[in-house]
Amino acid sequence: MRRKTWFIRVQVPKEMQESVGRKEFCRSLKTTSHREAIARAPDVTAEIRTEIENLYYRSQQTRRTITRLTDRE
């Protein structure tokens, strides 16, 4: 909690950290109420996990493209 606002932290899986470029994501739950923070946490966690997966997928696509382009030479 910062300045009475609740935050959530989601760890990036170790095998994804290098590709994603972060070890964790921290996001405000935009509430000072503990009860409301608990209610919002699952949705925000799911959003963050989707964001992590998308970043990882894009980085893997980029790596494959670079590998294909450099293999052509």
25-70 per-position pLDDT tens digit:
999 999 999 999 999 999 999 999 999 999 999 888 887 777 777 8
Put simply, whether the predicted model's pTM sits higher than 0.75 gets the answer yes
pLDDT in tens, 13-25: 999 999 889 999 9
pLDDT > 70? residue 73? no
Alpha-helical runs (H) found in the chain? 14-20, 34-72
Give the bridge partners for 31, in sequence order.
none
pLDDT > 60? residue 2? no
